[in-house]
Every structure is written in C-alpha cells, then in structure tokens.
Amino acid sequence: MNIKRTKEEIKNTIEAYLAKDGFGSYEIPAIRQRPIFLLGSPGIGKTQIMEQVSKECGVALVAYTITHHTRQSAIGLPFISTKQYGGKEYAVTEYTMSEIVGAVYEKMEQTGLREGILFIDEINCVSETLAPAMLQFLQYKSFGNHKIPAGWIIVAAGNPPEYNKSVREFDMVTMDRVKKIEVEADFGVWKEYAYQQGLHGAVISYLNARKQHFYQMETTVDGRNFATPRGWEDLSNFIRVYEKLGKEVDREVVAQYIQFPKIAKDFANYLELYYKYQADYQLEEIFQGHLDEILIQKVAHASFDERLSVLGLILSKVNEALKQAVSEEWQMERLQSCLMEFKALAAPLPGEMPMGNNEGVPGEGGIEVRGASGEVRIESGEGVQGDKGAGSGDAQEVFGGICQKMSAAYEQKKKAELLGREEDAQYRRLLQTMERFAQTLKLEGIAQRGQAFRRVKELFAVENGIYERRQEEASHALEYAFDFLEGAFGSGQEMVMFITELNSNYHSVKFLQGCDCPRYFQYNQELLFDEKRRKLLERLS
C-alpha cells in the first residue's frame, strides 16, 4: 500500500474508532480497537504521515521511538505497598506510572485534547527484556498496570528484518490482534507531497527523470548504500538554505544525505547543470515576457536531460508564483472574516458618526476580494466570532479584542501541535497584519467606531491590492511559461509533462480551479483525451 493510501486508511480508522453511539460510548469498544501496525522499509515517511494525520484529524499526538527505552521507563518502577486481604495485611509490589502513559496524560493537560494517537516507532526492535511489555501493550493497550486512556488510538511502526538486524518477529497471537498495513515507497504519491511542501525544483525534476533513484538500497562488501525519500527531502531543505547563504552544494554535501555514491555523484552533476541552465536560459527574462528566439531554438534542439532541466526550472518558477498567490488568498479570507467581525461588534455608540454607506461593507453588499482565482470565500471557525451585538468600549478596544481572540486561537493550535510549518507562518503573518491595523488606529487616535471601521476598510483595501497583484503575477507567470514552452516544444512531450506536473501540484490545482487560463484547459483536455484513448486501446488489445 502506498503512503497516500496508508494515510487515508489511518484517518478512516481513527474516524471509526472515535465514532460514538447515542449514549456517548465508542461504537467499537477500546478493547476491540486493534492497534495499527505499519510495516515498511526505513525512510519512506511512516513517522511523517502520523504528524500529518494528527493535524488533519484535529487530535493530539504522542510519539516515541521505543528502542530508546528501558523496561523501567516503559512499564514504571516497582514499589512496595500494603493491602488488606481476609483481615490480614500483605506487602504487594506495584508499579509507578509508565513514562509513556504519563506523557499521554501530560499531552491531554497541555492541549486540552482528550483524544489522540500514541505512536510507537521501531516497535519490533525492542530489547529482549522489553519484548514482553510490548506484546502486552499491543494486546491489552497497557504498560504495566496502567492502561492507555480511552479515546487514544495506538499506531506502531517497524521495519522488515532485512533492514534491521535487531528486528524481533511477533508471534501469531500478537499479529492477530493488530491491524497490519504494509507500506511501500511510491514516487508519484511522494511527488504530490513534495510539491505541496515546496521541495527544491532540482530534486523533483531529477527524480522525474530518474525515478529508480527515488528509493534504492544495495548491499555491498563495504556495507549498505541507500537513497530514501527522507534523504531527498532533507537534502532539498538543506539546498534551499545553502542557496540563501550563497554556499555551494557539491558531491560531498549531497553524499551526506544520499548515501548511495553513484546516485549522489549523478545528482551533484545534475545540480551543477541545473544552476548553469538557470543562467544560460535567462529565466528572469522569460518571466518578464521577453523571449529570445535564439534561446528557444537552443532548448528545442538540446538533449533530453537539458530539456528536462529547463522544464524543471520553468515549473519551479511557476509553482513559486502560484504558491504565493494561494497563500495570499488564505490571508485575505481570514482578514475578511476579521473585518466582518469588527463591523458586527463596532456598531456606532449613541452620538457617534455612522459608518457611512454600505459600499464594500461585509454583510451588506460585501467586501469583494477578487483576483485571478475569483471571489474569496468567507470562512468562520477561526476563533474570532463574537457576540453579534455591539461590544463595549471604544473602537480600539473592540478591534484589540478581535486580535486577542485570533492570537489565542493560534496559540491553542500551536500548543496542540495542529499547525504545519506553512500554516504556522501564514498565521504569524496574519497576526502581524492585524497588529499593524490595531497600531494604526492607536497612532492616529481613532476611537469612534464608525471612523475606525472606515479606516480599517482602507487598510484592508491596501492588502487586497497586494493580493490582486499576486494573482496577476501568478497568471502572468503561467502565461509566460506557456509562451516559452509553445515556442520551444509546441504541443510535444514537454508540454504534456508540464500539464501533468501542474495537475500533481496542490497549489497549482487550487489556483487553476478559479483561474481563467484557456491554454491550460486546452492542453489539459487534450491530455485527458489522449489518456482515455490509450486506455481504450489497451482494453482492445
């Protein structure tokens, strides 16, 4: 099962395990909720999908690598207590709470989330002394005398024996009590994730051309050579930082992440050419709308690897513009929601000037935030909804209260670890914008509600202008890319690859849903037609 299907299956299992009947009891009793056991080779993303699943399901996550634990930390330390049996007092051995069970309760206290995932990695690599405790954990959902709290789902992960000499195979009794999922590496699925996370264009384009290097392991007399999805992602992040610092990523640097000498050397050579083509083909000029016929002819007659590298550069530039546009849209949706809240709470007090006409006011004519992707939706549920009547205090206090609610919602999500890196950055930027609005009201001494709302509307209009420029820049980037690709390749395989990659990218798909780009839809329709024809011919043959 590929990592995408695995993620869906885990989310579906969580939904089923947390489903309750009309009396508030779990539909599947805790004792019948089989732990999920992920079995797959190292580096394919088993741990990472648990972080994604917890955020998307809105539940807490406690993660442990069990090989770092001893029997005492897992099941607790023994101590002597006394109990009465048949009128006589006896000394009885009990155990303190397991560190792992304690961490679950601690997470519940910190986040306020009563349900969650307890993820135990490398569970089949435990020491001999800890093995019985792990079997008890999988079978009875407890460490020593302490059970895992109700509402907490157990997910365990392990590597097959061929990848780890420490692996201990579970017996049939244990395996018959778990929900086993065998996870496999899949480049197509990983590529969707890579685009969404904004991985370096050189890494994506290289693996597009050499898919066999995405995940490869080889045992030699000198040891094991390997290249893993985790290695490629970490290398991508490192390349981006090195570029900002003006440092060179050479073969030795690549080999620190891709521990397969042949692949590391090949990628290092590719990366060097990638940077060379970036300068040779004057990418900045292309995305200013200046096409050089000599360069177009040059790439049209270049080798396959060179054409693929140039296509990767074009895609990287387009994806960056589309990602910024989508991020700006997220920002405007929430700003608009906050402005609607301010209007609802900041009705003028007796004796104050009215807010004025309703032109551009949410709720009555509406503030229209328009760009290439169409009108922005208004989303609620961000922790900023207040009473529908007028609030007390002057306008600065009312707007400050909205800022505080937004900040509290952000802190709560951050504390619960429900925000990814990208969403965290978006929230911080949103809070900075809201704080700037509040600071403007304070510096200009605006306390009257009607006047304050008009001023905030003006500030919002400035942000809306930035949003619309981002939308235009993204649309232009897309059009310039089509101009260059049509001039160099026409409707050949490079154009097909370009459309296919756009369809694999979360940000481009989201942007294109509301964007009027006739050439994209034209080529996409042709691609779909060709795919249907190919499948039909396959059936006929």
pLDDT at 240: 92
More confident site: 142 or 443: 443
pLDDT tens digits for 11-63? 999 999 999 888 888 899 888 889 999 988 888 888 888 888 988 888 989 88
pLDDT digits (tens, 9 = 90+) for 76-131: 777 888 888 888 888 887 778 888 888 899 999 888 888 999 998 888 777 777 77
pLDDT at 245: 94
Closest CA to 441 of 427, 459, 428, 464: 459
501 or 282, which is more confident: 501
Q: Where are the alpha helices (DSSP H) in 19-95?
A: 46-57, 71-75
485: enclosing H helix or E strand: helix 449-489
Q: Are 34 and 93 in contact (CB under 8 A)?
A: no
CA angle (152 as vertex; 151, 158 as ends), nearest 5: 150
**Residue 357: pLDDT above 70?**
no
Is residue 498 predicted with pLDDT exceeding 80? yes
* Angle formed by the axes of helices 293-300 and 304-345, nearest 10°: 120
Handedness of CA 59, 60, 65, 69 (dihedral sign): negative
Q: Look at residue 536 in the predicted model and tell me its pLDDT.
A: 55
Burial letters for 352-363: b for 16+ Cβ neighbours within 10 Å, e otherwise? beebeeeebbbe
Average pLDDT over residues 127-150: 81
Phi, psi angles (nearest 5°) of residue 93: -85, 125
Residue located via tokens 């939706």: 377
Helices (H), 159-260: 172-175, 187-197, 201-209, 229-245, 251-255
User: What DSSP designation does 26 have?
Assistant: B
Residue 393: per-residue pLDDT: 66
Nearest to residue 467, comparing CAs of 277, 363, 334, 325? 325
User: Which residues fall within 8 angstroms of residue 35, CB to CB, at 6 or more apart?
Assistant: 138, 141, 153, 154, 155, 156, 177, 178, 179
The 10s digit of each residue's pLDDT in 197-206 is 889 989 998 9
Report whether 435 contacts 130 (CB < 8 A).
no
3-state secondary structure of 147: strand
- Which residues fall within 8 angstroms of residue 331, CB to CB, at 6 or more apart? 426, 429, 430, 433, 463, 467
The lowest-confidence range among 276-285, 352-361, 460-469, 530-539 is 352-361
What pLDDT sits at residue 119?
92
Encode pLDDT of 239-272 as tens digits.
999 999 999 999 999 999 999 999 999 999 999 9
- Percentage of the chain beyond pLDDT 90 is 28
- CA trace torsion 184, 187, 189, 194 (10° rounding): 120
The per-residue pLDDT for 434 is 93
